[in-house]
Amino acid sequence: MADNNKEGRDIQTQISRRRFLSYLSGLFIAGGFLLQGFAALKSLFPRVLYEPPTKFKVGMPSDFPEGVRFLPEHRLFIIRNDDRFHCISAICTHLGCTVNLAQYSPPKEYESHSGTAVSETYEFHCPCHGSKYRENGNVYAGPAPKPLPWYRMYTAPDGQMVVDTNTHVDHDFRLKV
Ligand code: FES
């Protein structure tokens, strides 16, 4: 009688072990399907990096008084000299901090590499590691490896000025309006 009971218990243990194993394998299969479904869904939404546009309107020429105006939303400077405009990046070429405008009155005098006397009314100074840029964006102090780039400007059909940060121009570039 005792042997029969033990045998019965063994059979029950075997059945519950089999059931457990079949549940477990069912779970693994369901998990596999779920993962595949998730991967398929993810592939429907490609990874895209949305970057700000590289061409944008900055306003009418009349919005800009004579001199330098900083546009913080675009991190650049628009410089007006009579009816001629140019645009210089405000992004430090060292590690990307935004440079500050330093204005001088009376103008600051210095001697260029070629020995000629130059006077300027403003410069750009980086607050992060002390790089300093001349009026034309050339570096003269600090760790910045390159000058501040100048961006191409043009006039849109509605008369607004457009800056194209994708196109760098030489220091003799001017937009005449
Ligand atoms: S980020 Fe401008 S000097 Fe370092």
Encoded tokens for 124: 């750009």
Range 73-81 average pLDDT: 98
Contact call for residues 48 and 81 (beta carbons, < 8 A): no
Assign 44 to helix, strand or coil.
coil
Q: Which residue, by CA, sits nearest to atom 1 of ligand 1?
A: 95
What is the pLDDT confidence band of residue 112, given thresholds at 50, 70 and 90? confident
Q: Which of 26-30, 72-76, 80-84, 115-119 has the lowest mean pLDDT?
A: 26-30
CA distances for 14 relative to 4, 10, 94, 133, angstroms: 15, 6, 71, 82
* pLDDT at residue number 51: 81
Task: Report which DSSP code applies to 30.
Answer: H
Kindly list the protein residues whose Cβ atom lies closer than 6 A to any atom of ligand 1.
92, 94-95, 97, 126, 128-131, 142-144
- Residue of 91, 93, 94 best suited for mutating to test ligand 1, as the one with most atoms within 8 Å of CB: 94
Range 149-163 average pLDDT: 98
Q: Which of 2-11, 85-94, 96-105, 120-129 has the lowest mean pLDDT?
A: 2-11
- Residue of 97, 123, 125 best suited for mutating to test ligand 1, as the one with most atoms within 8 Å of CB: 97
